[in-house]
Amino acid sequence: MPAAAESILISDDHLSYTFRLRPRLTFVDGTPCGSEDFRAALEAGLTRGDHVTVAWLLGAVQGVDRVRPGQRQRPAVGFETPDSRTLVMRLTHPDSLLLRKLALPGVGVPWRAAGSDSGPRAGWTGSVGLGPYRVVREDAGRLLVLARARGTRAPAASSAPDSIMVRFVFSAARVLALLRGGDADLVWPVPTGFSDFPLPVGCGEVTRPAAPQRRLLLVMRPDRPPTSKPEAREALAHALNHEELIQALGDSLPDPAWLSGAPPFDFPALNPEAVRTALSRGDFGRSLHVLMSYDADGPAAEVASMMQGQWARLGLYIDLRPLRGQKLDAEMLEGGSHLLLVEGQPLFDHVTAELAALVMPPRGPGVGEFRTMWRTREFDPWLAHKPGVRSGARGSAATAGALPESLTTAQAQQLLAAANVVLPVARLPWRWVERGGPLPVGFHPHFGPQCLPTGPR
């Protein structure tokens, strides 16, 4: 749905998109926001050095294929701003998913530095967006206070809360104390171990399925020995009791598809003989030793020790490395662990987005928030930014984009299964705790809980 844009005009050949901005569009501090601000935001995302997510999403735009990560002098790309209210995007080939990609958080969102204290170190208070809220206080990693910006145009803005306080709390006991004291209306995500405590009166836990599907993924990095050998990955896969893991994570539905439009995915079965055979073929002897990193406060923490025990019973020894904050980010992007246990959700519900996060591009960093370090050309037909001739997915995704005629998502899923670089351990629904009151909590299948204002507060 257009927000900053008043209208969107698409040419007959689908190679030109013209966005006309609303008149008198401003940032939350009252300064004007024009087409150059949107152009700068789009171009800034293209040359990031830590990931190529925006460059992959906008791969159909003219000149984007010549942009390189971290490039200081980027080549001209197909963004034009004939006036302060008009942004034109020129494409090399049609992309039926373009508007969906531009609607993703952070892709086409302009920010303006607040005063002289700008840049990444300025934090939230050092940046000004379009609203409808502005940041009035930040205690990095602990507290964020938002206040409604005057004059901003947003759905139900007249009844939106005047302020929202966000606290970042890791301890389940501390979260429970905030709920009991009436100091929290929404807890999300639910901290590790929180389900072991009874909820206070008036609070309830809510579970909703996510779309696109969120999953707990086991990544076995092929760029570091011993997991660089397929025999090591095969042994690790066949040493897991998958049924025990999905029960622990609450995933009760059997044999779901991994990729959109593919048949049910068969997780490698627990097979001690297959483990011993793989170890022998890989010249590992009777055991191997690797390191696994994961988010200390996420769903991975619920089953990491269980997986460690399953592996140990068959002579596979795994050192666990729970991480938080910058250490976790660094490990997910460029760390040295052999295994990663990560939460993964595609950027949108299409097989191309599902694969983009799992396969590294031919050069440069990858797409998304973690790296598999797996570079292969087998998936180029799906990931290339070229028009296809027929759909590769069922349901709502069937009309979203196209895949080459000779390939199917079932074949792509078979390639993933054969490599054993990434395994989908379980599906992860959205879970949160809410308190009944004047601020009811709604739900968005992609992004989780969202506040639905009903009156002044």
Tens of pLDDT, residue by residue over 45-55, are 888 878 889 99
Pairwise CA distance, residues 368 & 349, whole Å? 15
- pLDDT interval class at 253 (50, 70, 90): low
| pLDDT (mean) for 330-350 | 92
Could you give the angle at which helices 272-281 and 230-238 cross, rounded to 10 degrees?
Answer: 170
Mean pLDDT of 68-76: 77
Task: Check: CB of residue 357 under 8 Å from CB of residue 367.
Answer: yes
Place of tokens 């390189």: 68
pLDDT of 407 higher than 70: no
pLDDT band at 395 (very low <50, low <70, confident <90, very high): very low
- Residue in the block written with tokens 């009252």: 30
Length of the chain: 457
Predicted TM-score of the model (pTM):
0.88
Statement: residue 70 has pLDDT above 90? no
pLDDT in tens, 260-304: 889 999 999 999 999 999 999 999 999 999 999 999 999 999 999
Judge whether residue 386 has pLDDT over 60.
Answer: no
Query: What pLDDT shows up at residue 118?
Result: 46
pLDDT reading at 153 higher than 60: no
Least confident segment among 69-83, 187-201, 388-402:
388-402
What mean pLDDT is predicted for residues 238-252? 89
Give the integer Cα–Cα distance in Å for 441 and 433.
10
Q: Is the pLDDT of residue 405 over 50?
A: no
pLDDT greater than 70 at residue 381:
yes
pLDDT above 50 for 394: no
What does the buried/exposed string (b/e) look like for 151-175 if buried means 16 or more CB atoms within 10 Å of the residue's CB? ebeeeeeeebbeebeeeebeebeeb
Mean of pLDDT values over 72-83 = 88
- In the 3-class helix/strand/coil scheme, how is 208-224 assigned residue by residue? ECCCCCCEEEEEECCCC
pLDDT of residue 380: 82
**Residue range 99-119, pLDDT digits in tens:** 999 999 889 889 887 654 444
pLDDT at residue 362 tops 90: no
